[in-house]
Structure formats: structure tokens, C-alpha cells
Amino acid sequence: MTGSPQAAAGSGVCRRLEWDSAFWGFGCAKVEGENLRQEQIDAIEAWCGANDITFLQYLAPQGDTASARVAEASGFRLVDERVTLACRVTAAGSDVSRPDFELRPGNNEDIGSLDELARAGHTDSRYYNDPGFPRAGCDDLYSTWIRRSLEGAIADIVFVPVIDGKAGGYVTCKVEATDGWIGLVGVGPEARGRGVGGALIRRAIDWFRDAGVEEILVVTQGRNEAARRLYERSGFLTRDTGRWYHRWFGSAATGDRNQRAAEG
């Protein structure tokens, strides 16, 4: 998960993703480095075999056609475009308008409402786009993400809008060094059409400004046009893009993977 704690162990060619492996129940890893070359493939496959890796991910820089060709020829499948947007806090305008709803920090009493929203609100992600991941597990992933954010494990604060007496959305905020990271943003169906998304982003910007942050970053999917427009209206510009590739090993690479997805 983007922004999640991922204790990792690697060898220079790949890195085991400990949190992901524990969550999914099978070995997960990531290819180290940006550029993938054919001479690396044997070492990658050997490392994955020796470390009981079922799922391997690789993030290719946008425009690196050589790496893309190697990935696709080696059994990786393109599943997503990763877009990173950034906003300098000094250039971001403060929210001068007042929304017609309460906007406050989330708390444990919001878990039920936010869990429901998180389970249904991130189907554009690469996990849902890969049939190797069971749908129920993807729902659980985002449920876990928002719960751990509320608990303070992977976010410093979560802001929620109160719609009809309950939390109708969320934005999670985390400070790392001098940068601020927006992790998850979600708006429930009852809150749509009321400017909730924009209000959440502006509230996050104000909080980061008060925290002394110099720049705010957020990652979204290339296919998520609505999210990109939301961030751009709030002063964010595209920093860089990449392409996520996934590869499955063993029985998970064949029919058993689809069977697992169907059972999920």
C-alpha cells in the first residue's frame, strides 16, 4: 500500500515487502531500481525462487520503453499508471470559504463509517485491476489502511466531513521530514456534489502549512481523472509518472490465480 510501513529485506535486485507478505499471506517483493534490463532477469527469478516469492511488482519510469519491453517479455503485466502530484505550500491558497458542514479530525467513533467508505472507494487502484488479488482482500486492504490511519500508525491526522451526523469522507495526512503526504482521500455517496473533496484537500493544505511543511505530495492512478482534476484545482501539478507492472510466480501465475480471485 502506498504510504504503508513496509519493512523490507533484499539482495540488491529485489526487496521483500514484509507488511504486504503478512497481509496477503504470500511472499511479496519489489524490483529494486528504476531501469530493468534483460541481464537482470535470471538473478531476479533466482532470488524470487529462493525467497518463496509469489508476487513481484516493478515500477517503471514513464517513457522507459526498454524497461517496459523487458518487463512484458519476462512475464510482467502492466496494471496501472502511477501519477505523483506536488504542491508548494507557499504557493497554495488557504481556504477562504466555509463549507456548509463540519470538518474535524477523525476519531475512533468514525471507524464504522470510514471502514464502509474505504471498502468501496478505491476500486481504481492497481490491486483491484489485478485478478491475482481477491476482491475481498482488496476491500480489507483499504479498510486496514483507514483504520491504521485513524489509530495514528501510518498517518498523523485524518480529517473527516460530518454529513447527516456521521463521517462522510476522509483525507489522511503524514509529515515526513519537510514534506507532507496525502495518503488516502475518499468521499461517500451522500457527500458528493457538495464540494467535500475540495474542502478536504484545502483543510489538509492548511494543516500541513501549520506543521511547517514545505511541499505536499500525493499519488493517484492515471485512470482516475476525477482525482487528478481535484488535486489540480487545489494547486497541485504533476511531478512524475511511472508504470506499475505485476508478475506472479508458481501456481499463482496460471489458473489457480484466477480461481483464487473468483473465491475472494
Is the same domain home to 110 and 48?
A: no
pLDDT surpassing 60 at residue 174: yes
What percentage of the chain exceeds 70 in pLDDT?
A: 88
CATH code of the domain in which 185 resides: 3.40.630.30
For residue 8, the SS3 value is: strand
Half-sphere exposure of 77 (CA within 13 A, CB side): 12
Shared domain for 100 and 155, answered yes or no, is yes
Helix (H) or strand (E) holding 29: strand 27-31
Please tell me whether residues 91 and 216 are part of one structural domain: yes
217 and 152 housed in the same domain: yes
- Choose among 86, 96, 101, 205: nearest CA to 157: 205
Domain extent, residue 14, equals 8-80+243-263
Residues 203 and 130 placed together within one structural domain of the fold: yes
User: In terms of DSSP H, where are the helices of the chain?
Assistant: 18-24, 38-50, 65-73, 111-120, 135-150, 196-210, 225-233, 255-263
Averaged pLDDT, 150-179: 95
204 is a domain residue = yes
Is residue 69 assigned to a domain?
yes
- Classify strands 166-167 and 157-163 as parallel, antiparallel or unpaired: antiparallel
State whether 18 and 149 are in the same domain: no
How many folded domains does the chain comprise?
A: 2
Residue 163, domain member (yes or no)? yes
Instruction: Report residue 12 as a C-alpha cell.
Output: 540488491
32 and 10 in contact (C-beta within 8 Å)?
yes
Q: What is the pLDDT of residues 180-199, one digit of tens each?
A: 999 999 999 887 888 899 99
User: Do residue 198 and residue 256 come from a single domain?
Assistant: no
d(CA 121, CA 130): 17
Asked if 208 and 255 sit in the same domain, the reply is no
Q: Does the pLDDT at position 257 exceed 70?
A: no
Residues β-bridged to residue 123:
none
- Over residues 105-151, the pLDDT tens digits come to 999 999 999 999 999 999 999 999 999 999 999 999 999 999 999 99
Answer yes or no: is 3 within a domain: no
The CA–CA distances, whole Å, from 184 to 44, 57, 181, 228 equal: 32, 21, 9, 13
Q: Could you tell me if 181 and 207 lie in one domain?
A: yes
- On the CB side of 113, how many CA atoms lie within 13 Å of its CA? 22
3-state secondary structure of 158: strand
Residue 222 and residue 255 in one domain: no
| pTM of the complete model | 0.86
